[in-house]
Copies of this chain bind each other. A is one copy, B any other.
Amino acid sequence: MTGAESLLRTAAAAGLDICFANPGTTELDLVKGLEGSGVRPVLGLFEGVCTGAADAYARMAGKPALVLLHLGPGLANGLANLHNAAKGRSPVVVIVGDHATTHVGKGAPLEADVEGFARPVSCWVRTSATPEAVAADLADAVAAATAAPGGVATLIVPADCAWGGADGHVAIADPPPPAVVKDATVEAAVAAVDDRAVLLIGGDALASEEALLAAGRIAAATGCRLLAETFPWRMERGAGLPAIPRLEYFPEAATDSLRDASALVLAGTPAPIAFFAYPGLPSEIAPAGLPVVTLSAPRQDGADALVRLAERLGVADGPPALGAPAPVAPEPGPLTAQSLGAALAAAQPEGAIVVDEGITASGPYWELSPGAARHTLLALTGGAIGMGPPAATGAAVACPDRPVVALQADGSAMYTLQSLWTQAREGLDVTTVIVANRGYRILTVEMQRAGIEAPGPVIAPLTDLGSPTLDWVALANGMGVPAEQVTTSEGLTAALERAFAEPGPHLVEAVI
């Protein structure tokens, strides 16, 4: 048995049976070992596809995702989506093939500081020293990725450690459960929750139906207000669950929304920080002087904490209020971000996984979809754009029986458009709605905020994607994905119905 085979059998024995891969020559023995190993590779034609898919797979599958990449530059191409995975603490194990140990230090073109590339996004980095160590190294990587604080673990396997002889596979222990919060912590939250309090929910607490129902009962009983963190890692939403708006993106509005609060109670999320700094504005969203009470911190058991808070308040069996009515499709007419959000909310199928990288188009959809068919929402945890198309891919691999909907801005889709090919190859049931506003709209908004009302001829092109116009139907077709363009809300509704009715990937270019 080679070191590569010992690694793959270790993974397969632990149920890690999918590997998002873009391998090369230094991974050849790992590739050889895949045949018959029980681990199935899913090919991405760009590494950011693999890492973004792994992030979403880990969010949905309830187990770590594996990624196989080629040397330092291959890892480098995957770093932006690993940044997102790291910020969300998604358990992702990245295996990077490196040159043979005998080849390092001689200046081959592809020699690079692989550990250096890995460190900024990884909670754990190791280079295997011998073929015999590779299996145990993988077990340690999985443990590091899954135990708190968790996140991205990077194992670098030199080619001679992959091709050399090893002893066999090792068993991977289940990760310890997340820490439960103390009773005194729950008591402090009890004291803080009143009819002017805001309960800000994030992290694992948004992913738990039980926790969300508890939060709804708490809000119904106490009159406190519920907010979701702006970019949830994984949020259960829709009919039967409380309608929870998200914390505003821009710091002035976010702070204003907390201005009259008696306290900010945090469940599963740290105190909110502005996405960007602006001259004269503080980084902290909470208004100065607002009491901030932590019910649960990230990676603690936030779902359990919310359930216990509801019990302690005596509302564990109360009605989970705050539901929203089912959305209705918008009036016919030219599409806007508003009518696009309404049409999608009305049409999305039961049980969908909605990957939200709509950027400026996300706001209307959020407002219009709390009463949509029950769904799971995955958002951009780390702000590195180009997460949506890969994440839709990985979510569909993790949950082949659920439809996946990608609400996707056109600008950010371009960073990882290669994902469409993997969706076509794997026959994944992903419907991508490209919000074609032909620009980096968020940057235009930021320019206006900075006082640039009319950008001059040198800088205006920096936010303009309309010259030439990206033809998303052609781009999708070029990668084997059926696509159509729509310009009206009724056209979008009809296109979505067609896409949802058929298996396999589809793309709708929604021009707004």
A451 to chain B: closest residue by CB: B32
Is A231's CB within 8 Å of the partner chain B? yes
Cα distance, A206 to B106, chains bound together (Å): 22
* Contacting residues of chain A (215-239) with chain B, CB-CB under 8 angstroms: 231
- The proximity string for A residues 288-299 relative to B, scoring 1 for CB distances below 8 Å and 0 otherwise, is 000000000000
Most buried by B among A83, A421, A455: A83
Q: Could you tell me if B275 and A109 are in contact, using CB atoms closer than 8 angstroms?
A: yes
Distance (Å) between the CB of A165 and the closest chain B CB?
Answer: 12
- Given that A24-B443, A76-B83, A462-B23 are contacting pairs, would A35 and B455 also be in contact in the complex, using a CB cutoff of 8 Å? yes
Q: Could you tell me if A32 and B450 are in contact, using CB atoms closer than 8 angstroms?
A: yes
Distance (Å) between the CB of A41 and the closest chain B CB?
Answer: 6
A447 to chain B: closest residue by CB: B28
Interface residues contributed by chain A, number (CB under 8 Å): 101
Checking B77, B102, B450 against A283 with a beta-carbon cut-off of 8 angstroms, the contacting residue is: B102
| Stoichiometry, copies per complex | 2
* Contacting residues of chain A (461-497) with chain B, CB-CB under 8 angstroms: 461-462, 465, 467-475, 477-480
Cα distance, A43 to B460, chains bound together (Å): 11
Chain B residues with CB below 8 A from A284, complex form: 106
Q: Could you tell me if B77 and A48 are in contact, using CB atoms closer than 8 angstroms?
A: yes
Q: Could you tell me if B470 and A163 are in contact, using CB atoms closer than 8 angstroms?
A: no
Q: Could you tell me if A100 and B21 are in contact, using CB atoms closer than 8 angstroms?
A: no
* Contacting residues of chain A (396-430) with chain B, CB-CB under 8 angstroms: 411, 414-415, 417-418, 421, 424-425
Binds B, one of A57-65, A302-310, A380-388: A380-388
Distance (Å) between the CB of A426 and the closest chain B CB?
Answer: 10
* Contacting residues of chain A (104-137) with chain B, CB-CB under 8 angstroms: 106-110, 112-113, 116-117, 119-121
Chain B residues with CB below 8 A from A457, complex form: 35
A88 to chain B: closest residue by CB: B109
Q: Could you tell me if B467 and A477 are in contact, using CB atoms closer than 8 angstroms?
A: no
- The proximity string for A residues 163-189 relative to B, scoring 1 for CB distances below 8 Å and 0 otherwise, is 100000000000000000000000000
Cα distance, A28 to B79, chains bound together (Å): 24
Cα distance, A29 to B278, chains bound together (Å): 11
Cα distance, A71 to B383, chains bound together (Å): 10
Chain B residues with CB below 8 A from A138, complex form: none
Q: Could you tell me if A73 and B77 are in contact, using CB atoms closer than 8 angstroms?
A: no
Cα distance, A469 to B425, chains bound together (Å): 9
Is A72's CB within 8 Å of the partner chain B? yes
Cα distance, A37 to B458, chains bound together (Å): 9
Q: Could you tell me if B277 and A458 are in contact, using CB atoms closer than 8 angstroms?
A: no
Is A274's CB within 8 Å of the partner chain B? yes
Is A253's CB within 8 Å of the partner chain B? no
Is A31's CB within 8 Å of the partner chain B? yes
Most buried by B among A87, A383, A418, A470: A383
Is A446's CB within 8 Å of the partner chain B? yes
Checking B21, B73, B231, B381 against A382 with a beta-carbon cut-off of 8 angstroms, the contacting residue is: B73
Q: A35-B457, A417-B417, A421-B468 are in contact. List 17 more A-B contacts (CB 8 A).
A: A21-B462, A23-B462, A28-B447, A31-B447, A35-B456, A41-B458, A46-B415, A72-B83, A72-B120, A74-B80, A76-B80, A103-B274, A103-B283, A106-B283, A112-B121, A113-B120, A470-B478
**Contact residues of A with B, CB < 8 Å?**
21, 23-26, 28-29, 31-32, 34-37, 40-41, 43, 45-46, 48, 71-74, 76-77, 79-80, 83-84, 87, 99-100, 102-103, 106-110, 112-113, 116-117, 119-121, 159-160, 163, 231, 270, 273-277, 279, 283-284, 380-386, 411, 414-415, 417-418, 421, 424-425, 442-443, 446-447, 450, 452, 455-459, 461-462, 465, 467-475, 477-480
- Supply 15 A–B pairs (Cβ within 8 Å), ascending by A: A25-B276, A32-B459, A41-B459, A74-B80, A77-B80, A102-B283, A109-B275, A116-B116, A159-B276, A414-B418, A421-B470, A425-B461, A470-B479, A470-B480, A473-B478
